[in-house]
Structure formats: structure tokens, C-alpha cells
Amino acid sequence: MSRGRRGKRVSTEETPAVLPVDCRVSAVVTVLNEEATLPLVLRELGKLPLEEIVVVLNGCTDSSLSIARSFPQVTAVHYAEKLGHDVGRSIGAKLTKSDIVLFVDSDIPIGADRLKRFIAAIAQGADVALNDISPFLPLFRDWDEVTKMKAFLNLSLGRPDLRANSMTCVPHAMSRRAIERIGSGMLAVPPKAQAAVIEAGLRIRTAAAVNVLQTNRVRNSNVGKDNEVSRLIIGDHIEALKYAMNAGGSRLTNDDSGRRRHVVMRRQL
Amino acid sequence: MNRLLISGIRSRSGRVGGSSQSSDAGGARGRVVRRRGPSGRKLSRPASSVHRTRPVGETERSDSIPLVSVIIPVMNERRTIRRVIREAFAVHPSTEVIVVANGTRDGSSVIAKKAGARVIEYAEPLGHDVGRAVGAEAARGDVLLFIDGDMVISASRLRPFVAAVLREGVDVALNDYSGPTAKPIVHSVVLAKHALNAMLQRPDLNGTSMTAVPHALSRSALTAVGAESLAVPPLAHAKAIRLGLRVKAVHHVNVGKLNPPRRERERMKPLEYVIVGDHLEALEWVLGRGDDRCGFVDQTRKRHYAR
């Protein structure tokens, strides 16, 4: 995505980073050959009062596993094969029993001060604390299809205020209550999890703004307008909409009772 | 709801309609709303010039099947309807103009009849876009052009849509208008249109849509999507694309009259809900024909590990 400098900066509702003393907090990190950035990610997480750090390694052929094991607090889970997008998050969420779970990726080191805000938001009563990417988005005309789908899903679910913020994006944090309510398996398709969270009436909001658009590692599969990852995420949003429509009806809450369709039907008979 | 009357063809249309409303209509006559064509010329002309702007051959047209049907849903549009109809007739020598008047209380339907349109009249409002479907059912032309009664668009700017269908084999000729997008937050309708095209694997269409006028349909496109689906324009749009019709943005007409962007957390307007719902209904139709992801696969994801 091109980065617009002309995009108006949108103020973010920042949560004060006051960490709870009576909550157990853990982090879930998914890893696919990230030996360069994994130590930086784990070092930042080490500054937080975490009960455990669940590192889900999949398809790693580099030294990521030994790096993970060298850090205290780390519970490493290792799969020889690639699990595919977001499946690792679901596995990690199932393994930890903490009250608050912070989800991060191993390719984007984020300072502990920033990460604290997501944990704090859950401690203050939110069920899902999202990363607010609004300040970093370009003008709409330069949005990619994935960003449009994120915003459309929120709009359809009656939460246009969430804009293009999504559980597809890290970092984000969840309450144990939310994970148990929707089921950890849902997290393998993050937009579907988001639909389930909103449908269940759980509290979802943004907690801090971290620019992951610039720092996301460029891979062969995520470059170009119609790349593989982008197609996967668009599909995730369609699946999320279908899930929501199965539960809430084909128009969700978007009523058109003023429309007299029977007029056309009757004329056709 | 009762369908009150369908007026005759234009040659006798001047005699149809209640006289009580004609005085209202007369009041609108001569009022000039300045709208400019692409060349900057004023589109509105004095009423006396109306007949001169009509193409020749209109008498035969009344009796034979027209080539072009222009469909105009109308509620209370007496300020613009006469000029809208005049431009519609000037689109092609063989044109019928169908006005679907619904819930009209300002004499619009009387003006429409006097201007030579076939008027299909309903006492109560039909709701958003239902008039298009009603008009499409009544249409006899090979090309159907859809415009609105409240917006005067010159014939020269309407012809490209008809020409694309008649001469270029386009089935659905869309207005190449994607809404105001040079901003960080767009109107919900603009967002929905872009998202639907993305889901239909036609991101090249940007925010163009059958929701927006003007647009033209071939007779075969109408048969394929069904007239009733035109009451939910995004549904007709999705059907046209998924049924393999040639859907193309052919010409830009700036119909930008959308509401300004909402402030955060401000409530949406009722019409926005209707249109967002329309887009979901369109998606549901697409999903009903195939897989749960509209062809956007995730084969690399090993879901059985996630429980």
C-alpha cells in the first residue's frame, strides 16, 4: 500500500499504560523463520510482567527455535510444517490460561511501552483491544482491497467507528472471557473472530496506534496488488460476513422495510 | 397498493391527469435551475423550445417498438422533471421515456405526461429503487437507460451509455464515478461499493456500481438479472458480473451529491443502512452460488490444527 502523507492524522484513544497487579497476562508469538527479529521481539516482551510467553513456531528451518528456548518464560511449541496464516495464534490462545492474552508477530519488534497499552485496555474492561492503524492509512483512493474489506466488515457489523481496525492486525489483546466465548479455533480466521466478538456483544475498541504498515516484512507472497496473502485476507472477510449473516440475517441490521418489493413481484405474476 | 394508471403514449398524454395538479405544474414552468453541461452551456431552456429539441420521427416511434427505454423514478421532482424528460427523449431518435411516479404530491406526474412520458403511477412511495424495477418491467426497448428525476443530465452526456450497449456490446454500461475518495474516511455507501467490487474480483471497477445513475442495460442483461433485482441495485450488479455479462464503466458523469462524511460515532442515516444492507444481500446471493469465500481460497491454512 502506498503511504499517503496527506492523510489527515486521526486522534487515537490512547489507554494509559497502567498495568494490573491482580491479572495474569501472557503473550502469544507466532514464528516462521524470524531469527533476525525474534530476539528483539522477545526482549521487549521480557520487560512486561508476563506469566508466560507462548511461542508457536511453524515451518522454521533457521535458528528461531533455539532463540526462543534461550529466553526465560518462553513456552515453545514447534510444528515442522507451516500451519498457514493465523493458525498459530489459535494454538497459542488455547495453550495459555491467562486472564489477558497479548498477540504479537515475530517479524515486528514493538516497544514494551506500546504493548502495555493493549494489556491495560483489557484490564480496564475491554474484551478486545485493537491496534488503531487509522493515523497511518493513506487517502481512501489509495487503500488496497484488504483495507477496504476491513472497514466494510466493521460497517456491516454496525461498528463503523472501528474503521479499518482489525484482529487481522497485530498487536492486539483479548480477555480470557472473549477467547472462551468465541472459542480459540475462531482465531485462525481473525475477521471471523472479530464478527463473533461483535455479535456476542463483547467490548471491542482500539487501545493504541502502532505503525505496522511500514515495518511489515516484505515477502514474495505479500507484494503486489493481487498477491496471495491479500486474496487470503479478502476471503477471510467474506467468510466473516457469511458467518455474521448466518446468525443475523442477510442484511444484518441494515433494514429496508420501507421498500415495497412486492409491487414488482406482483406485477410479474 | 394500487397502481393508479398508466398513461398512453405521448401523442395523447397531454390530456391525461388531474387538472387540480396542473396549476402546481404551471407554477414550476419557467423556473430556471442552472446546471451546466460539459461545455458549460446551460441545459435549461425556455419551455417554448421543448418541441424543437425533440428529434424527428417521434410519431412513428409512438406506434413501433422503441430502441431505447429511459426509466426515471420520480417522487416530487417538479422542478427538474420536465428538463430530465426532454434530455431523455434527445438521447436517441427511437426512445420511450418511462416515468415511475410514486408518492408524488407536487404534480410531477402531470408534468411528466405533458412532456410525453409514459407514466406509471403509484399513490404511495415504493421505497428506494423499486421504481427502477417497475420501469424496467414495462420497458420495451433493446437498451434500458436509468436516470433520476431530480438530476438534469444533458443528452450528450447520456448517449455514451446507450452507445456502449448498442455499438460496443457492453451489457451493463456504468457511470465511471467512484464517489469522493480523496479523503481518509469515505461515505459508507462509497465504501460498500468498493468492497463489493473487491469481493466480486472486479477491483478495477473501483466504486462504480448500478447503484449510481446514469447506467444502461442491454435487453439480454435485463433478462439475465431479472427486472425485480433492479430494486436492489447492488444485487443486480453482482448478478451481472457473476453471470458473465460485460460490465464496464464507460463514461464519467459527476453525480456527486452524496452526504458529507460522518463524524466518528455519529449515527448513520436511514438510507445508508438500506444501501449497506443491499450490498450484503448482493454478497449473500454470490455466496449462495458457490463457496464460502467467493473463490478467495486459503488452501495454505491448516485449519484442523486450530480448535
User: Is the pLDDT reported for residue B16 higher than 80?
Assistant: no
User: Is the pLDDT reported for residue B54 higher than 70?
Assistant: no
- What's the mean pLDDT in B75-81? 95
pLDDT interval class at B60 (50, 70, 90) = very low
3-state secondary structure of A43: helix
- What's the mean pLDDT in B147-172? 97
Of B62 and A108, which is predicted with more confidence?
A108
CB atoms within 10 A of CB B19: 7
pLDDT of A147:
97
**Domain contains A255:** no
| Domain range enclosing A155 | 25-212+230-249
Strands B215-218 and A100-105: unpaired
pLDDT of A221:
55
Judge: A90–B281 Cβ closer than 8 Å, yes or no. Answer: no
User: Is the pLDDT reported for residue B92 higher than 60?
Assistant: yes
Which site among B122, B181, B300 would you substitute to test the A interface, given the most A Cβ atoms closer than 10 Å to its Cβ?
B300
Locate the DSSP E strands across chain B: 3-6, 68-74, 95-102, 118-122, 143-146, 172-175, 215-218, 247-251
pLDDT interval class at B256 (50, 70, 90) = confident
pLDDT interval class at B263 (50, 70, 90) = very low
**In which residue are the cell numbers 472473549 written?**
A178
Domains and CATH numbers, chain B: 16-290 (3.90.550.10)
Q: Is the ipTM of this complex over 0.95?
A: no
Q: Work out the minimum CA distance from B47 to partner chain A, whole angstroms.
A: 34
Task: Count Cβ–Cβ pairs < 8 Å, chain A vs chain B.
Answer: 194
pLDDT interval class at A267 (50, 70, 90) = low
Contact by Cβ (8 Å): A188, A150? no
**Domain contains A180:** yes
Contacts of B306 in chain A (CB under 8 A): 87, 90-91, 184-185, 187-188
Q: Is B179 left (phi over 0), alpha (psi -120 to 50) or beta?
A: left
Paired residues of A205 in beta bridges = A129
* Distance in angstroms (rounded) separating the CA atoms of residues B34 and B300: 58
Query: pLDDT, tens digit, for every residue of A186-236?
Result: 999 999 999 999 999 999 999 999 999 865 555 555 555 558 899 999 999
Of B46 and B299, which is predicted with more confidence?
B299
pLDDT of A30:
97
Q: Work out the minimum CA distance from B229 to partner chain A, whole angstroms.
A: 9
Q: How many helices (H) and strands (E) does chain A have?
A: 10, 7
Mean pLDDT of chain A: 90
Paired residues of A173 in beta bridges = A102, A129
pLDDT of B236:
98
Phi, psi of B63 (to 5 degrees): -95, -30
| CATH at A78 | 3.90.550.10
3-state secondary structure of A250: coil
Domain count, chain A: 1
Residue B18's H or E segment, with its range, is none
DSSP string, B237-296: HHHHHHTT--EEEEE------PPPPPPTTPPPPHHHHHHHHHHHHHHHHHHHHS-TTTT-
Contacts of A134 in chain B (CB under 8 A): 184
User: Is the pLDDT reported for residue B176 higher than 60?
Assistant: yes
Contacts of A238 in chain B (CB under 8 A): 199, 283, 287, 292-294, 296
**Domain contains A94:** yes
**Domain contains A86:** yes
Question: Is the Cβ of A247 closer than 8 Å to some Cβ of chain B?
Answer: no
pLDDT interval class at B269 (50, 70, 90) = confident
**Domain contains A194:** yes
Judge: A268–B227 Cβ closer than 8 Å, yes or no. Answer: yes
Q: Please give the grid coordinates belonging to residue B187.
A: 461515505
Which site among B258, B293, B299, B304 would you substitute to test the A interface, given the most A Cβ atoms closer than 10 Å to its Cβ?
B293
pLDDT interval class at B26 (50, 70, 90) = very low
Instruction: Name the A residues in 90-149 with CB < 8 Å from any B CB.
Output: 90-91, 94, 134, 137-141, 143, 145, 148-149
